[in-house]
Amino acid sequence: MAYVLLETKGHVGIVTISRPKALNALNADVLNDLSNVFTQVAKDDNIYVVVLTGEGRSFVAGADISAMRDMTAVEGQEFAALANSTFLQIENLAKPVIAAVNGFALGGGCELSMACDMRIASEKALIGQPEVGLGITPGFGGTQRMPRIIGYGKAMELILSTRKVKADEAYAIGLVDKVVPHDQLMDEAMKLAESIAVMPQVAVRQAKLCIRKGMQADINTALAFESEAFGLCFSTEDKHESMSAFLEKREAKNFKNR
């Protein structure tokens, strides 16, 4: 891939958007590379958790305005469809995805971070949805994911006013889950990823699935999802080992992830 890099450390896949001269702005090439890398991640049984970040001083500064300026209505809709397909691919990945927001996360960058399961921000992060000021709406999920994450009123305020928030305010309103010193960002993201990677992965993935599906469903349907996942885990070797270790007052070992 020309614009998205993948490396692994243990059972953690590190995905880095690498278009630093354009502040990692999203165009069709970047989105296609991102999709291809996450397809590779999905197939790699050695990767349990993903950390997604950007190269340089930006996570993703937004969609590429130079690419969008002369688009027709049809082309704009097709561009949004490509981005939404890619972001849904990330959101629906069985493996947890942590956004390490290292700088600007504006427009499509904010939307990309919200498609991830968790967000850790550098103290230098700046986050927002500036699209209305450019004469368009957010098109990569911002109008849908932001109110689900931070609530209706605050999402309305940020999207309609285009106000950007610094890391501390983003944390206060729930747009990110943790803020850390800039030079500690990747260490903190890796620490969280590794703490998840050592868990029984069937349980991890079923829990993620329940949370994601449940957020889109009524409580009765969501509880049915949870009951099904709960029961499925009882058929795993890891459930037997974990519960036996608890009762025997020892550390669980040799998870088979099955």
Active site (catalytic) residues:
111, 131
Residues 49, 9 contacting (CB under 8 angstroms): no
Structural tokens at position 51: 């950390």
Three-class secondary structure of residue 234 per DSSP: coil
Residues 17, 4 contacting (CB under 8 angstroms): yes
Burial class (CB in 10 A: 0-12, 13-18, 19+), 254: exposed
Burial class (CB in 10 A: 0-12, 13-18, 19+), 173: middle
Structural tokens at position 137: 């709406």
Three-class secondary structure of residue 236 per DSSP: coil
Three-class secondary structure of residue 10 per DSSP: coil
CA 88-125-163 angle, to 5 degrees, is 80
Q: Which residue has the tokens 């450019």?
A: 134
Alpha helices in the chain (DSSP H): 28-43, 65-68, 73-91, 108-115, 142-150, 152-161, 167-172, 185-197, 201-214, 219-233, 237-247
Q: Which residue has the tokens 């850790």?
A: 120
